[in-house]
Structure 1
Amino acid sequence: MRKLKNSELDRLNIDEFKSVEKTPLIIVLDNIRSLNNIGSVFRTSDAFLVEKIYLCGITATPPHNDIRKTALGSTKTVDWEYAEHTLDVVNKLKSENVKVISIEQVERAIMLNDFQPKISQKYALVFGNEVKGVTQDIVNASDLVIEIPQFGTKHSLNISVSCGVVVWDLFSKMQKKEKVSF
């Protein structure tokens, strides 16, 4: 096997990315401290055609050198918006009939592998602070909470890893359903 060159990957350019149909997913970052995590979320969002990212509270915004290092240009492709209060964003999205899902460990959480997204539904995925997670008021306002099953000694994953796992899982489930419906 030979590694492919970037020129052989047939990726979208910025204009094509902006005009292509997006995956019905929105990311909400609730007070993320690490600029590298923010950049990684942008990069994952670009890879899976996420509709938009909301950067809330203390979450830094582009342009910033440490975001740029991990985002690798995806801050130019993925739409984003800053909001001071995460709860305002959650309430706005819910009023637009977007299902809000916090990614957290709570009582009665749905395990990610058990969650089946509806193809006609748009979802907002809330990821929380590296230390405190998603705040309780946001958990309370969410339509549901999904937990990533974990089996080792640690009780959490890095926020950028969590985002990659959840977005890939939902993206792949949505793609399978689309393919079946043809």
Structure 2
Amino acid sequence: MKLNADQLRKLEEERAQGSMKQVKRNPIYFVLENIYDTYNIGGLFRLADALAIEKIYLCGDSEIPPNARIKKASIGTYKVVPWEYRKSAADTIADLNLKAETRNSKQFQNSKNQNSTTPLSPPYQGGETGETSNEVVKQLSNNLNIIAVEQSDKSVPYTKVNYSLPLVLIFGNESYGIKEETLKLADQIVEIPMFGINKSLNVIVSAAIVSYWVISKIKT
């Protein structure tokens, strides 16, 4: 089912819940840390829906739906994208890691109980699998791959990283970016090369470039 902007804005909450269940989601999470601009948040909801990601985590000082400007910028997609508010990005990452460890432990125990000699099933089935490319490990992993999108002395071009699923993408504040303590939780830090005078891109644009790069490699 595809809806246009007007239909999404008018979509009733009950029907939206049903629509969410029909989406085959990709095992990608957006962690938004202290994003102040509500239009940016709304735009990120719209992007998240386009990518069919698993969930958005709104952290710290980020505003949450049903803020009027988020509703407007998202054209109603906040109703069809799973989201949750968390006190901090660090709390979110700790919780996601704990859930992954618990899930892996249960899978291991089930495998032992069944005396199975086959490899453990991946924790998610949202993305397609295939041969490994230079940029993306398409086979689902039992561990989270945590990537911070930020300019840093430790960052590398986003096209030079080996991504794996399930994937957490962290995006930070429009002015000061991702907090240093949050960067330390990432497996890798990536940035988008800038060739002009301007130092950085809008957070929605940055998120779209990196996440569509990942999706394009998963889907090919």
1:148 aligned onto 2:192:
yes
Q: Say which one has the larger Rg.
A: 2
Give the structure-2-normalised TM-score.
0.70
Percentage of matched positions with identical amino acids: 35
> Would you identify which runs of 4 or more consecutive aligned residues in structure 1 move more than 6 Å?
none
Alignment of 1:150-169 (within 5 A): 150-169=194-213
Alignment of 1:102-121 (within 5 A): 102-118=148-164, 121=165
Q: Which has the higher contact order (CA 8 A, sep 6+)?
A: 1
Return the letter of the residue paired with 1:106: S
| CA displacement, residues 21-57 of structure 1 (integer Å, 9 cap, x when unaligned) | 2111100000000000000000000001011000000
Aligned residues: 165
Give the structure-1-normalised TM-score.
0.84
- Mean CA deviation greater in 161-170 or 42-51: 161-170
Q: CA deviation at 1:94?
A: 2.8
Contact 1:100/1:123, CA 8 A, preserved across alignment? yes
Return the letter of the residue paired with 1:107: D
Contact 1:30/1:134, CA 8 A, preserved across alignment? yes
1:100 aligned onto 2:146:
yes
Alignment of 1:54-133 (within 5 A): 54-95=57-98, 96=100, 97-118=143-164, 121-133=165-177
1:47 aligned onto 2:50:
yes
Alpha-carbon RMSD across the aligned residues, in angstroms, is 1.9
State the secondary structure of the residue aligned to 1:141: coil
Structure 2: gaps of 5 or more residues: 5-14, 101-142
Contact 2:145/2:163, CA 8 A, preserved across alignment? no
Distance of 1:23 and 1:107 partners within structure 2: 30
